[in-house]
Amino acid sequence: MEKSILIIGACGQIGTELTFALRTMHGNESVIASDIREGNESLMDSGPFEILDATDYDALEEVVAYYEITEVYLMAAMLSATAEKFPMRAWNLNMNSLFNVLNLAKEKKIDKIFWPSSIAVFGPNTPKENTSQSTIMEPSTVYGISKQSGERWCDYYHNKYGVDVRSIRYPGLISWKTMPGGGTTDYAVEIYHKALSEKAYTCFLKEDTELPMMFMDDAIKATLQLMETDTENVKVRSSYNLSAMNFTPSQMAESIQKHIPDFKISYEPDFRQAIANSWPASIDDREARQDWNWQAEFDLEKTTKEMLGNLAP
Ligand SMILES: NC(=O)c1ccc[n+]([C@@H]2O[C@H](COP(=O)([O-])OP(=O)(O)OC[C@H]3O[C@@H](n4cnc5c(N)ncnc54)[C@H](O)[C@@H]3O)[C@@H](O)[C@H]2O)c1
């Protein structure tokens, strides 16, 4: 049977690039983009689009029936920094949207789900270096609590109802096509924009805050690879650790200075410092490597070259 794919939250940082990648693979008409708002012009012009609220089960069911959807990528969520400001709204969006999609699969209305988790599932008591797949978690943010609960529910729906749900704990994602949507790692995108426009950036994290990060092309590659692999290879049904590079704001500034020597960085940590402090500095992703041959391609130097090259006027 032909695949028919629905992306929910398609206008965001990841959804936009995921939509383009899936349309290249499966054809524009087989990939339905949806969001609660319209996206950028190139996304809107590239194929079918529906305004859809991920928390509205009936509306979701209707779109799934109309387009005979077989796979759903659920990218709608409230991210870490914004969720600290609106805890209940974040919980409602992040959990209800996931239940809606899991229940569609339980009812056999769709065959397969991708739902992203995050390194935010880890917390201040988690070992910080080379954090393993299964370890102490105890997330201390609303966002992290919603992602950890989501992981448990994905695992439960797989074991109990046979739902084919697949997931990755994305690190902070760096991309140039769309701006990030209110996360704690957003500095790693903003810095390139400011480096080009003002040759200066004031970072909201301290200079030595090391966090796991990934260039968007690697994140999209991993997502598609996990979704394409045979079901018996998917041994983790909560969410896979995934790693590409780890760096601090000052290391990032140094990599930019190789291209823009007079670039200056200063530091004014805000509430996001506490969130960053609760997360790992590096991630052990051996399960993803073993189970579905994951291998990252972009390190910091390659990412900087790609970001500055694409954002330069
Ligand atoms: N970007 C990252 O660095 C990162 C890291 C780890 C995990 N993630 C996860 O990946 C997913 C996508 O993240 P992103 O960075 O693209 O987020 P984003 O904020 O850029 O995009 C989210 C999209 O969801 C849409 N949305 C919000 N409420 C909605 C609703 N009720 N119904 C339908 N759409 C709605 C928004 O309009 C937005 O376009 C999220 O689950 C996020 O937690 C992202």
**Which contiguous run of DSSP H or E holds residue 240?**
strand 240-241
Active site residues: 143
Residue 150 has pLDDT above 80, yes or no: yes
Q: What is the pLDDT of residues 6-46, one digit of tens each?
A: 999 999 999 999 999 999 999 999 999 999 999 999 999 99
Residues having CB closer than 6 A to ligand 1 are: 8-9, 11-15, 35-37, 52-55, 75-77, 79, 93, 116, 118, 170, 172-173, 180-181, 183, 185
Model pLDDT, residue 1: 60
**CA 232/CA 234 separation, integer angstroms:** 5
Using one digit for the tens of pLDDT, what is the confidence trace for 39-69? 999 999 999 999 999 999 999 999 999 999 9
Report how far ligand 1's centroid is from the alpha carbon of 246 (Å): 22
**DSSP code, position 199:** S
> Whole-angstrom Cα distance, residue 227 to residue 204?
35
Measured by CA distance, the residue closest to atom 38 of ligand 1 is: 12
Beta-strand ranges (E) seen in 16-146 are 31-35, 49-51, 71-74, 112-114, 117-118
Q: Which of 11, 13, 94 to mutate to test the pocket of ligand 1 (most atoms within 8 A of CB)?
A: 13
263 CA to centre of ligand 1 in angstroms: 31
Cβ neighbours for 88, distance < 8 A, ≥ 6 positions apart: none
CA of 173, closest atom in ligand 1: 3
Tokens for 135, please give them.
């370890």
Q: Which residues pair with 202 in a beta bridge?
A: 266
Please check the confidence at residue 228 and state whether its pLDDT lies above 80: yes
Question: How far apart are alpha carbons 150 and 168 in whole angstroms?
Answer: 12
Best of 14, 175, 218 for a ligand 1 pocket test (most atoms within 8 Å of beta carbon): 14
Containing H/E element for 311?
Answer: helix 300-311
Range with lowest mean pLDDT among 55-59, 167-171, 177-181: 177-181
**Mutation to probe ligand 1, out of 52, 75, 154, 223 (largest number of atoms < 8 A from CB):** 75
Q: Tell me how far the alpha carbon of residue 232 lies from the centroid of ligand 1, in angstroms.
A: 28
Report the DSSP beta bridge partners of residue 247. 211
- Atom 36, ligand 1: residue with shortest CA distance: 9
80 with 118: CB under 8 angstroms?
A: yes
Among candidate residues 55, 11, 63, 13, the one with its CA nearest the CA of residue 37: 11
Q: Write down the mean pLDDT value for the chain.
A: 97
Burial class (CB in 10 A: 0-12, 13-18, 19+), 82: middle
Enumerate the β-bridge partners of residue 70.
none
User: What residue owns the CA closest to ligand 1's atom 21?
Assistant: 12
Report how far ligand 1's centroid is from the alpha carbon of 243 (Å): 20
Q: How confident is the model at residue 313 (pLDDT cuts 50, 70, 90)?
A: confident
CA distance readout (Å), 80 to 63, 184, 227: 29, 6, 25
Q: What's the CA-to-centroid distance between 76 and ligand 1, angstroms?
A: 4
Alpha helices in 164-258 (DSSP H): 187-197, 216-228, 249-257
* Residue 284 in tokens: 């052990």
Q: Which of 116, 112, 117, 228 is nearest to 163 (CA)?
A: 112
Mean pLDDT value of segment 171-182: 94
